[in-house]
């Protein structure tokens, strides 16, 4: 799964396809958590133009009674997107890309859990498959735009932490995922596979990142033996 991530990149260079609104813009977020707003990439109706938008992490389906759902849909299982009512319509019509520098995972027993920062060995960004929705409240109220990150089975590196991981798309996969003309569920499901083994670099970091309100480069600094464990 993916419950926290980092995005501290120049947005214009994250994907091969030109993105409107990303030129020269750099995001510096080191502890993105559900319910926060963060840039995602969405296509126009034809799929030719991609643009950067700020959506809230944690999908709220258009049919939800209110925006504060009991179930926080910040992740979506790739295997069941076409079946689940929360994701079915977005899977067909509202797919997006979620750029990230890396993400966090935890391991160990309760009370002694260790925190890890995970990114690509080659330094390239991780481009997650995502879905987005528009929720409208009372007439005249601003609409809520939200998104979820699609997950798949863990690869070899991630299996030590969790049985799930975010779907990471290569450039060809990004183009297909963002193409509104691709509506065949099987063709899209073929993209929702684990990242190739050996691609990721895993670094232990301090527990400073565990508190969602903590921000800044300190979140990704390597853990040093002997430092105080509780850095909240």
- Structure confidence by residue, pLDDT tens digits, 23-50: 777 889 999 999 999 999 999 888 889 9
Please tell me the pTM assigned to this model: 0.94
C-alpha 178 chain-centroid distance: 15
Tokens of residue 156, six digits: 């070899």
Q: Where are the domains of the chain?
A: 5-202
Give the C-alpha distances (Å, rounded to integers) separating 17 from 50, 150, 163, 170, 192. Answer: 8, 21, 31, 12, 20
Note the pLDDT tens digit of each residue in 104-163.
Answer: 999 987 778 899 999 999 999 999 999 999 999 778 788 999 999 999 999 999 998 889
Strand (E) or helix (H) holding 12: none
Pick one of 3.40.50.720, 3.40.190.10, 3.40.50.300, 3.90.1680.10 as the CATH number of 5-202: 3.90.1680.10
- Dihedral (Cα; 104, 42, 131, 54), 10-degree rounding: 60
3-state secondary structure of 207: helix
């Amino acid at each position: 799964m993916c419950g926290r991530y980092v995005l501290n990149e120049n947005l214009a260079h994250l994907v091969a396809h030109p993105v409107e609104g990303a030129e020269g813009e750099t995001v510096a977020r080191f502890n993105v958590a559900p319910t926060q707003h963060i840039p995602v990439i969405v296509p126009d109706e034809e799929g030719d133009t991609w643009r950067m938008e700020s959506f809230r992490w944690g999908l709220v389906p258009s049919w939800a009674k209110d925006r504060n759902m009991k179930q926080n849909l910040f992740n979506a299982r790739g295997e069941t997107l076409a079946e689940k009512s929360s994701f079915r319509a977005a899977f067909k019509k509202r797919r997006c890309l979620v750029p990230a520098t890396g993400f966090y995972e935890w391991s160990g027993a309760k009370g002694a859990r260790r925190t890890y920062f995970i990114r690509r060995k080659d330094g390239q960004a991780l481009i997650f498959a995502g879905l987005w929705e528009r929720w409208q409240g009372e007439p005249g109220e601003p609409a809520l735009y939200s998104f979820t990150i699609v997950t798949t089975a863990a690869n070899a590196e991630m299996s030590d932490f969790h049985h799930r991981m975010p779907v990471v798309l290569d450039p060809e996969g990004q183009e297909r995922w963002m193409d509104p003309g691709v509506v065949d569920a099987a063709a899209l499901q073929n993209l929702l596979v684990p990242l190739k083994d050996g691609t990721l670099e895993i670094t232990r970091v301090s527990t400073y990142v565990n508190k969602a309100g903590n921000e800044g480069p300190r979140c990704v600094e390597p853990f040093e033996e002997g430092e105080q464990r509780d850095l909240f």
